[in-house]
Amino acid sequence: MCLAVPAKIIEKDNMMATVDVEGIQRQISLMLLPDAQLGDFILMHAGFAIQKIDEEEANYTAQLLKEVAQDGEG
């Protein structure tokens, strides 16, 4: 199963970005989404931004992922 995680771009340097995922920051590539800008919400998979999404969708997806993780712990 493949999983894309919502993140917010907080820094951008050419085709690389620093994103924030629930307070965790990591570097990802923007090669597949070159029009992504600072402040955009994106879906990331395997170190790449793959799709722009709006903030509401990012929050909803993050909440669903938290629920799935909690169900897996129980």
Give SS3 for 53. Answer: strand
Domain region containing 37: 5-73
Do the Cβ atoms of 41 and 53 come closer than 8 Å? yes
Nearest alpha carbon to residue 5 among 67, 72, 68, 65: 65
Residue the block writes with tokens 């999983």? 3
What is the C-alpha separation between 67 and 48, in angstroms, rounded? 24
7-65: per-residue pLDDT in tens? 999 999 999 999 999 999 999 999 999 999 999 999 999 999 999 999 999 999 999 98
Query: What is this structure's pTM?
Result: 0.88
How many domains does the structure of the chain reveal?
A: 1
Task: Say which CATH number the domain at 26 has.
Answer: 2.30.30.140
